Amino acid sequence: MRKTEIEEKNMTDINKMENGPMLNLYPDSLGGDLEAVADLFERDGFADAFSSIYILPSIYHSDLDRGFSVIDYDLEETFHSEKALLRLGRQNIDLKLDFVLNHASVQSPQFQDLLENGSRSEYRDFFIDWNAFWENCGEMTEDGYIQPAQKYLDPMFFRKPGLPLLMVEMADGSRIPYWNTFYQEIRDTDDYHTRYLGQMDLNIKSEKVWDFYRETIKKLAGYGAKIIRLDAFAYAPKAPGRANFLNEPETWEFLEQIHKLAKPCGIRLLPEIHAGYKEKKYELIAQKGYLTYDFFLPGLILDALYRGDGTYLEQWAKEQIKENIHTVNMLGCHDGIPVLDLAGLLPDDRIEDLIRLLVDRGGFVKDLHGNKKMYYQVNTTYYNALGENEQALLLARALQIFMPGKPQVWYLDLFAGSNDYEAVKRAGAGGHKEINRTNFTQKDIESGLKKEVVKKQLEMLKFRKEFPAFGFDAEMEIRTKPAAQISDQAENALHFAKIPDEQMYNRIYITWKKDGYLARLSADLKAHTYRIQALDPSGNLIWQMF
C-alpha cells in the first residue's frame, strides 16, 4: 500500500529524531516538585544520562486518575512551573507531555458550562449526548437513556461494566445521559457542580472540540513539548453500528488531522494504544509513519529472564527492524506491566505462567471490566517483578537499551523501587496502580544515588545516550546463539562460552553499528550476566561494562 505524503514525512522525521533515553515521572515523583527534578538534571552522574523527560499529566489541572482526568491544560503550580520547564529546556532536555484526546473532566469549564446552561450552552455539542447519538438505534428505558439494539452493541468494546454513560442532572432538573468511556463517580452531595466525577467523551464532530484541540496543542508547544503522547486517541471516532475503538479508516483520518495541527508547532506524535500482538495495531500505527509504544518488551524481557530463553525477544527485535517499526520502549511505567498486548506473541501458557509469577512476587492483576479471562496488566514495580534481584534489573536495563527504540525509563525502576503496599491501602478499591508510584523525598534520592544498581544504570544510560552506534537509522543484529562461523578473535571479544546446543538460547547477542562505531551486548539470560562493549571505527575497545 502506497504511503501518503504525510506518512512518508513522518517516517523521515522519526529517522532524524533524537533517540536517547527518556526519564518518565510525575512532577512530584522526585523531591516533591519539578524544581527538584530540574536540580537533579543539573547533577553530575545524572545530567548526562537522559536526553528527554516525560512528565505525566498531573502537570495540568486535574481531579482524578492521577492527572488523566484533565480539567484544563494550564500548569498546576503546586508541583511545577514554567520556570522549571525552562530550566530543563536549557539543558537540552526534550519534553514529552500528554494530550487526552477522547475525554475531559466533568470539572472542565466546558462541562460545567453545559451543566449550568443546558441547551443554551455554547458547549452543548462539545460532549456526546448519548440519546442524540443513538436516536432511532434502540429503545428508551425507564431511566431515561436509550438502550441500543444488540446489533449495535456487538462490535463495541467497553472498558467497564454496563453501558458507557453517565446520567447528569442539569440546572433545570432534567437528566441527560452523556457518553463516558472511562472513569465515573457520583458522590452523595446536594451540589450538582461537585456531585459528578468522571471523564466525559468529546464529540469530535464539533467545531468547538477542534478549536480546543488546536489551542491545546499550541499551549503544550508553548511549554516546550517536542513529543505529545496521544492518550486514548483510538476511542474518539464513534458512529452507530461501528466499534467504539479503532474504527477504520476514521481513526487514521482523525490522527492525520491531529498531525496537521501539531506539525507547524514542531511536535511529534506518539499515539498510545493497547491491543494484542496478533491484532497488529502497532504495525498499522508504524505504517502510518508514527512512533508507537513497545508494550511487548516489558513482558518479553521478564519471560526471557525467567525462562533463560531469548527466542521471542529475538523474534520481536527482528520484526521491528524488518518492518521499520519505530518505538518508544520501556520496562516499567505508571500503568504497570502490560499482559494483554502479549497475546499472539508469547504462547498462552507462557503468558499465564508469567502472570502467576508476577502475582507470586507481590503484583496485582488488573482485568478488563471484571472479566477474569481478559487480563489487562499486572500492577507491580519492575524490581519486584524480577524478584528484587539487582543483577536481573541491570541485565533487563541492558537489554532495553540494546533493543530497537527510544528507551523510556520509569523513575522507580531507576532507583530499584519496591512495591508500595501502604499506598495501595490508602488508595482503596481500584487503587492497585499506586503500588508503583511511590514519591521519593530528597533524602530518598540522595540515598538511591549512592547505590551501585542505580550508578550502573545511569552509566548504561549515559552510554546509550552518547555512543554514536545507536539510532533509528543504525544497523542492528540480534541472535540467541553464536553464528555457525565465527573467528577466534571475534569469539574472544564477544566472550562466547563453550556451551551445549540445548543451552544455546540462554545466550543473547545484540550488535549496533553506525558510522564505523560498534556497540554490542552479550548476555546469559539464565545466569543474569552481561558484557557491554563499545568499539571505535578503528576497532579499538573504548568502553565496556560487565
Residues marked as catalytic? 231, 272
Rounded CA-CA distance 236/204 in Å is 7
For the beta carbon of residue 487, count every other beta carbon within 10 angstroms: 8
Do strands 196-201 and 327-330 pair parallel, antiparallel, or not at all (unpaired)?
unpaired
Cell representation of residue 435:
503500588
Cell representation of residue 219:
499551549
Residue 263 gets which letter from DSSP?
G
Helix 34-41 with 82-90: angle, nearest 10 deg: 10
371-379 sheet: strands from edge to edge: 337-338, 371-379, 364-368
Omega before 155 within 30 of 0, i.e. cis: no
Dihedrals phi, psi of 428, to nearest 5 degrees: 75, -155
492 SS3 class = helix
The three-state DSSP-derived secondary structure of 340-380 is HHHECCECHHHHHHHHHHHHHCCCEEEEECCEEEEEEEEEC
CB 305 within 8 A of CB 383: no
Half-sphere exposure of 470 (CA within 13 A, CB side): 27
The three-state DSSP-derived secondary structure of 150-208 is HHHHCCCCCCCCCCCEEEEECCCCCEEEEECCCCEEECCCCCHHHHEEEEEEECCCCHH
Cell representation of residue 231:
492518550
CB 286 within 8 A of CB 404: no
